[in-house]
């Protein structure tokens, strides 16, 4: 049984079957991954506490008029958008150009995927810390479940280098985040739901969310089924298989729930927009 001791970033502490303590040096790449995760955590904390408030107050003067809770959520969503764009673009590069991962989705060379996942790991831990600390402002049990399920799965990717294709594929979902956050920004800034910017973002949000979280499910699970029962599949530890399958199902159930809410909201706004047009045209004729 092993665990990483606090402060021992360059070594791995373990207890053997006889209860004796020991320490082995971490390989250089593992040290790099750990360093990236730590830097990622610190960077996203810095973006939340310093960069976002400073930049937002200059880009959008309305930021200064927000309540304390709204400012916290604003900064959280700003950081979330930056993370989504960074990781999402990296994810696409791996998906299109990393032949090793695409050819062997279970045990292909996970180097680039590990780097991308370590960035996300740092962000998720940072976001969890903020969620718990500012629970009254941004606390959400579904986000806690989402983050913990993702971290549980990423442990096997980073620790054992397994399932790089599937871990990277899940990160495609990040592309829907900017539109979801922008919807909240429009709302808190007082934009009408029927306004053109809000309407355009709402339709784009529904389309992107469906494409990167729902429409890709058949591709994802068909690839999962294609490796089921193979030699590569049975090399994955039992814990790794549970993390892979359980996390995927858990995340997709939430994605379907969120898609349902987004679709209903988009439909209501579009329907109200259509109803308001004839009324405005009729009023225009009478005037």
Per-residue pLDDT tens for 34-93?
999 999 999 999 999 999 999 999 999 999 999 999 999 999 999 999 999 999 999 999
Per-residue pLDDT tens for 160-184?
899 999 999 999 999 999 999 999 9
What is the extent of the structural domain holding 245?
Answer: 27-279
In a domain, 7, yes or no: no
Residue 1 in this model has a pLDDT that exceeds 50: no
Q: State how far Cα 120 lies from the chain centre.
A: 7
pLDDT of residue 36: 96
pLDDT of residue 275: 67
Do the beta carbons of residue 139 and residue 166 sit within 8 Å? Answer: no
Give the CA diameter of the chain: 91
In a domain, 136, yes or no: yes
In a domain, 181, yes or no: yes
Residues 89-99, mean pLDDT to the nearest whole number: 93
In a domain, 44, yes or no: yes
In a domain, 2, yes or no: no
CA nearest to 148, candidates 132, 168, 128: 128
pTM summary value: 0.82
In a domain, 4, yes or no: no
Domain count, the chain: 1
Mean pLDDT of the chain: 86
In a domain, 5, yes or no: no
Chain position carrying tokens 């740092």 = 122
Query: How far apart are alpha carbons 168 and 159 in whole angstroms?
Result: 15
In a domain, 64, yes or no: yes
């Amino acid at each position: 049984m092993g665990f990483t001791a606090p402060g021992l970033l360059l070594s791995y502490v373990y207890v053997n079957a006889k209860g004796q303590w020991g320490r082995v040096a971490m390989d250089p790449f593992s040290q790099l991954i750990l360093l990236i995760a730590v830097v990622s955590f610190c960077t996203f904390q810095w973006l939340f506490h310093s960069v976002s408030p400073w930049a937002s107050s200059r880009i959008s003067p309305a930021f200064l008029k927000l309540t304390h809770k709204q400012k916290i959520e604003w900064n959280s969503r700003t950081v979330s958008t930056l993370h989504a764009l960074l990781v999402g673009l990296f994810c696409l590069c791996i998906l299109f150009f990393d032949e090793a991962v695409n050819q062997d989705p279970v045990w292909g060379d996970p180097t680039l995927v590990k780097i991308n996942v370590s960035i996300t790991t740092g962000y998720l831990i940072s976001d969890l810390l903020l969620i718990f600390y500012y629970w009254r402002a941004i606390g959400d049990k579904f986000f806690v479940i989402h983050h913990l399920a993702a971290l549980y799965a990423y442990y096997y990717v980073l620790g054992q280098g397994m399932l790089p294709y599937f871990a990277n594929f899940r990160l495609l979902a990040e592309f829907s985040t900017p539109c979801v956050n922008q919807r909240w920004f429009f709302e808190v800034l007082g934009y009408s739901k029927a306004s053109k910017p809000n309407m355009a973002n709402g339709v784009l949000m529904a389309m992107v969310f469906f494409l990167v979280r729902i429409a890709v499910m058949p591709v994802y699970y068909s690839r999962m089924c294609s490796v089921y029962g193979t030699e590569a599949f049975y090399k994955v530890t039992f814990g790794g298989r549970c993390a892979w399958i359980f996390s995927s199902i858990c995340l997709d159930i939430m994605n379907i729930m969120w898609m349902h809410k987004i679709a209903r909201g988009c439909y209501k706004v579009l329907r109200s927009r259509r109803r308001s047009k004839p009324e405005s045209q009729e009023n225009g004729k009478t005037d």
